[in-house]
């Protein structure tokens, strides 16, 4: 899911929560007798993952929540035998660049991976090129090299162990780990 879709989902959740809380009718017409629903515990209001009521978030807090949602997508996937960023991968890297530029003391570790096809040496080199591609995109965006550590695991740490295209596509990745 891309960043604009996440924002749209967040807006729809807030609007849905507000419309669900809207009352209809006048206060005089409310029946004050206890109902079976009154015996159940009250439900909690719509909240974001920080535990605060979504309606009480300031603009800065909303921006932080959106940034955290973008940073939750910390994996950049690659095409077979490629080390160039896809448009979705570039979007993920931009979110991390924004985070690192706003937090100069923050650091990330880039962990490059490859699928099992090819020799061990080739996959180590390919995974390194992938992590370097992400590193280059971050530095072009203004992130300092002191904030970035880059590693290559090649095919040694797969997320999926089956020998299928679906599995291989999950293993062609760079994981961006916040330190």
User: Which domains, and CATH codes, for the chain?
Assistant: 57-179 (3.30.1330.60)
Angle at the Cα of 68 from the Cα atoms of 67 and 71, rounded to 5 degrees: 85
Q: Do the beta carbons of residue 7 and residue 66 sit within 8 Å?
A: yes
Tell whether the model's pLDDT for residue 68 goes beyond 80.
Answer: yes
Q: Do the beta carbons of residue 135 and residue 112 sit within 8 Å?
A: no
For the record, the structure tokens of 167 come out as 């599995």
Instruction: Work out the percent of the chain whose per-residue pLDDT is above 70.
Output: 69
- Span 143-170, mean pLDDT? 97
pTM check: above 0.75: no
């Amino acid at each position: 899911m891309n960043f604009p879709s996440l924002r749209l989902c967040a807006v729809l959740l807030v609007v849905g929560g507000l419309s669900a809380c809207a009352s209809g009718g006048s206060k005089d017409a409310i029946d004050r007798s206890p109902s079976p629903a009154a015996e159940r515990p009250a439900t909690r209001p719509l909240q974001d993952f920080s535990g605060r009521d979504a309606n009480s978030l300031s603009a800065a807090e909303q921006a932080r929540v959106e940034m955290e949602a973008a940073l939750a997508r910390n994996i950049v996937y690659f095409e077979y035998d490629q080390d160039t960023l896809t448009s979705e991968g570039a979007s993920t890297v931009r979110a991390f660049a924004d985070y690192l530029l706003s937090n100069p003391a923050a650091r990330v570790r880039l962990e490059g991976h490859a699928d099992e096809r090819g020799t061990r040496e080739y996959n180590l080199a390919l995974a390194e090129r992938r992590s370097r591609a992400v590193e280059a995109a971050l530095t072009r965006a203004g992130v300092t090299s002191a904030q970035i550590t880059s590693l290559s695991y090649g095919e040694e740490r797969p997320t999926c162990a089956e020998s299928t295209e679906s599995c291989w596509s999950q293993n062609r990745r760079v994981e961006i780990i916040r330190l």
